Amino acid sequence: MSNGIRVRNPMPTNSLVLMMSLILTIGPLVASAQGPQAAHEGYADLKGVRIRYTDTGGSGIPVILLHAATGNIESWEHQIPAFTAAGYRCITYDRRGWGRSITDPAARQPGTAADDLLALMDYLHIDRAHLVGSAAGATVSIDFVLSFPQRVRSAVIANAGGASVQDQKFQEVSQRIKTAEFDSYPVEFRELGPSYRASNPEGTRRWIELTRMSRQNPAGPPQPVKNPTTMPLLETIKTPVLLMTGAADLYAPPPLMHLYAARIKNAESVVIPEAGHSAYWEQPDIFNRAVLEFIRKH
């Protein structure tokens, strides 16, 4: 058969019974091969904000994807098909101040991203979930793990910089990484590895397009963290954690990831070859495989 499924030594039977047998045997496989159904998109009315989200639904264990500062819902287009095909329910959302989420200008304060995520989980009736955060989204994931560990199955902390960590060693490493002119460089230079920019011009153009749709302008006041990240707090994390970064990440190179690993007990670590600060986008096959292997264990 063209789809690679063979029926060996079928018992003599009439054609109708054989047809029904084939349908029952290969039907689920054919449905799986057609890919996941389109995710539901909606708005969650939360305190001071309407959060735009997508939800693939279903009975699978929830995986919540938290975008980088240069991303939004659409940034996860390489992850959603792979994760839903593996049986997971995938939720993405535009954080307050990003994408098409709508912040109430009359709100007294912007709240915290961790509280927004908790409210979104309650809105979607999600008790516990796997978190997958990249860059600024990884910072939110860490804060959520510290604030609401009982709501987290596991956390993937990808390409996390050290700017939000209140520790002298982290800050010294972060300062040595950047030059005085660093922030003036084009965003694709700072956040995409040179191998990706050289080999995938179309993917680079798509990434830049999504970046331009990400942070709102004006974005309003930044959201504070619920728990300032300190070394003693990182050492209290008992949630299973996978730390990931790209070998060519200009914000969060492997030595910075190792500082996290030294503080978070039993954390696993993965370095993705040639990838920059957007490993999920540059090397999605490696990224997805590592994430799925990790969350299956938890």
Q: Output the pLDDT for position 270.
A: 98
Model confidence at 13: pLDDT above 70: no
Predicted pLDDT at 170: 86
d(CA 196, CA 253) in angstroms, rounded, equals 16
pLDDT > 70? residue 218: no
Instruction: Classify domain 41-296 by CATH architecture.
Output: 3-Layer(aba) Sandwich (3.40)
Output the CA–CA distances (angstroms, integers) from residue 35 to 39, 63, 79, 203, in the order listed: 12, 18, 13, 22
The stretches of the chain forming alpha helices (DSSP H) are 15-33, 80-85, 113-123, 136-147, 168-177, 187-191, 194-199, 201-212, 231-234, 254-263, 279-282, 284-296
pLDDT above 80 (res 191) = yes
Q: Which of 223, 216, 229, 225 is nearest to 47 (CA)?
A: 223
Q: Which residue has the higher pLDDT, 110 or 141?
A: 141
pLDDT band at residue 26 under the 50/70/90 scheme? very low
> Can you read off the two tokens belonging to residue 62?
């929830």
Which residue spans of the chain are classified as CATH 3.40.50.1820?
41-296
pLDDT tens by residue, 90-138 = 999 999 999 999 998 887 678 899 999 999 999 999 999 999 999 999 9
The mean predicted confidence, pLDDT, of the chain is 87
Residue 222: DSSP 8-state: P
pLDDT confidence tier of residue 219, bands split at 50, 70 and 90? low
Tokens of 198: 């050289």
22 has pLDDT over 60: no
Q: What is the pLDDT of residue 250?
A: 95
With 80 as the cut, is the pLDDT of residue 235 above it? yes
Amino acid at residue number 75: S
Model confidence at 220, in pLDDT bands (50, 70, 90)?
A: low
Q: Please answer whether residues 219 and 105 qualify as being in contact, where contact means their C-beta atoms are separated by less than 8 angstroms.
A: no
Of the listed ranges 10-14, 141-145, 154-158, the one predicted with least confidence: 10-14
- In whole angstroms, give the CA distance from residue 15 to residue 21: 10
Reported as a single tens digit per residue, the pLDDT across 261-275 is 999 999 999 999 999
Under a CB-based contact definition with an 8 Å cutoff, are residues 89 and 62 in contact?
A: yes
- In this prediction, residues 78-84 reach a mean pLDDT of 98
Q: Which pLDDT value is given to residue 27?
A: 37
The secondary structure of residue 182, as a DSSP letter, is G
User: What is the H or E stretch that residue 64 is in?
Assistant: strand 62-66
CA 94, CA 75: separation in Å to the nearest integer? 10
Cβ 131 vs Cβ 144: under 8 Å? yes
Q: pLDDT for 201-210, tens place per residue? A: 999 999 999 9
pLDDT at 37: 57
pLDDT at position 227 over 50: yes
Q: Is 83 within 8 Å of 63 (Cβ atoms)?
A: yes
pLDDT tens figures, 153-184: 999 999 999 888 888 888 888 888 888 899 99
